[in-house]
A = this chain, B = another copy of it.
Amino acid sequence: MLEEYGKTLRMVRKQKEITLKQLADGICSISFLSKFERGESDITLGLMTKILEKLMMNFDEFLYIHHDFQPDKLQQFFSAASTAYLNRDVKHLKQLKNEQLKKWKQYSVETYHYNALLIEVYQSIVDKDYIEVGVQENEILLLSDYLFRVEIWGYYELTLYNGTLLLLQPEMVILLSRTAYEKSARFRDYRKVNNAITSVLFNTIIYLLGPVNRFHEEFLYQREFSEFISYLEEITIPESNLMERLHLLQLKGAYDIRTDNKEEGTVKVRQAIQLLHDLDSTRLAINLEKYLLQII
C-alpha cells in the first residue's frame, strides 16, 4: 500500500538542489534514501525527523505539500463541521455525524463519540425539528466528564469544547473554561493552540453576558466576568493582536450595558464599531451594530 511520502520528499529535495549524498550524509545510506524516494520503502519516524530538519522544513508543511496542499484530517473535520453548521446544511451535518458514529462503533474509541456529539450540538441548533433533547443531556455530560479528566488540553480538546459550550449549564461552563485555561497553559507559545484558547475565553464571556441569564434582573456573574477578562488580558499581551483587543473592548462595553452602565458601555461598543469602519471591515462593523441593538 505505502503512502509514498518519498516521492514528495524527492520533489522537495530537487527544489532545494540537494543531492541524495548530501541529504543522506550523517543520517542514512544513499541507497536507502533513493529507495524511499522512489516509493519502494517506508521510512522510520526517527530518520524522517532528521531529514526534514536538514531541509529546514517541519512535518506539517511537508504533509501539507504531500496531500496536494490540503490541510490535515483533523483540520478538515473541524472545518467541514463548522462550514456545514454556518451554512445550516443539515444533510451534510448528518452525514458527518454518521461517519463519526461508524468509526465509534468500529473501534469503540470514545473520541469518535465526542466528535459525533459536537455535530449533534450543531444539528440541534440548526434543525428546528430536532427535539431529542433528552438523549443529548447524558451524552453531553459524558463529554464534559472527559474534559475534566484530561490533564493537558490540546487543540482537539479546546476546539471540541468551544463547539459544545453553548449547550452546557452555566456552572459547568465556568468550571470547564477555567480548566481549559489552566490545562492548556503549556501551549502558550504555540500559536495555533493559543488561538483556540483565546477563542474559548471569548465564547465563555459572550455566553455569560448573553444567553444564560437573559431573564434575570441583575447580572449574576460579575466575578467570573472579571476572571475571564483577566485571563484574556494575560494571554493577549502582543500589542499587534488588534482583533482580539477590539473584541475585548466590545465585551467590556457589553458588560457595562448589562450592569446598568448603559451610557459608558454604548460608548465603548460604538468605538469598536467605528474602529472596524475605519479599517474597512464593514461586515464585521455591521454585525457588531446588530449585536449592540440587541443588547441595549
Interface residues of A (CB under 8 A from B): 1-3, 5, 15-18, 22-23, 25-26, 42-46, 48-49, 53-61, 63-65, 69, 71-75, 77, 106-111, 115, 146, 149-152, 154-156, 186-187, 189-193, 239-243, 245-246, 249, 271, 275-276, 278-284
Provide 20 A-B residue pairs closer than 8 Å at the C-beta atoms, listed in order of the A residue: A5-B46, A15-B150, A15-B152, A22-B109, A26-B107, A42-B44, A55-B111, A57-B155, A58-B72, A58-B155, A61-B154, A61-B155, A69-B186, A69-B187, A69-B190, A191-B192, A239-B281, A239-B282, A239-B283, A242-B243
A42 cross-chain contacts in B, Cβ below 8 A: 44-46
**Chain B residue at smallest Cβ distance from A64:** B190
A187 cross-chain contacts in B, Cβ below 8 A: 64, 69
A59 close to B56 (CB less than 8 A): no
A275 cross-chain contacts in B, Cβ below 8 A: 242, 275, 278-279
Residue among B115, B149, B271 making CB contact with A17, cutoff 8 Å: B149
Residue among B18, B65, B280 making CB contact with A111, cutoff 8 Å: B18
A279→B275 CA distance, assembly (Å): 9
Q: How far is the CB of A199 from chain B (nearest CB, A)?
A: 12
A108→B64 CA distance, assembly (Å): 28
Q: How far is the CB of A276 from chain B (nearest CB, A)?
A: 8
Q: Name the 10 nearest CB pairs between A and B, nearest first.
A: A59-B59, A242-B242, A239-B281, A245-B279, A56-B156, A42-B44, A60-B60, A242-B243, A69-B186, A240-B243
